[in-house]
């Protein structure tokens, strides 16, 4: 189960970074849009945080995506 969670964190981080780059946003700009701190966004992208569904939804909205798109 832990390996599966680690894999999802890695996928999430890669997708957040990919979509952020597509929008030309810095981590700071994405964090501002999501009302979060840039260090949190950095940790998500590096798969260091086990984020809540609320955080997932806020990041997805800030990227103009649906939450499930960040986990594919």
Q: pLDDT tens digit string along 32-41? A: 999 999 999 9
Q: Do residues 15 and 70 make contact, with C-beta atoms less than 8 angstroms apart?
A: yes
Res 1 pLDDT > 90: no
Stated as kind and residue range, the H or E segment containing 20 is: helix 2-22
pLDDT value at 2 more than 90: no
- DSSP code per residue over 35-61: TS-HHHHHHHHTT-----HHHHHHHHH
Instruction: Indicate the pTM of the whole model.
Output: 0.95
């Amino acid at each position: 189960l832990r390996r599966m969670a680690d894999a999802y964190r890695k996928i999430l981080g890669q997708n957040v970074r990919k979509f952020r780059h597509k929008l030309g946003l810095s981590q700071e700009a994405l964090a501002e849009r999501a009302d979060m701190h840039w260090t949190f966004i950095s940790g998500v992208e590096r798969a260091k945080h086990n984020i809540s569904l609320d955080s997932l939804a806020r990041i997805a909205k800030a990227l103009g995506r649906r939450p499930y798109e960040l986990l594919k």
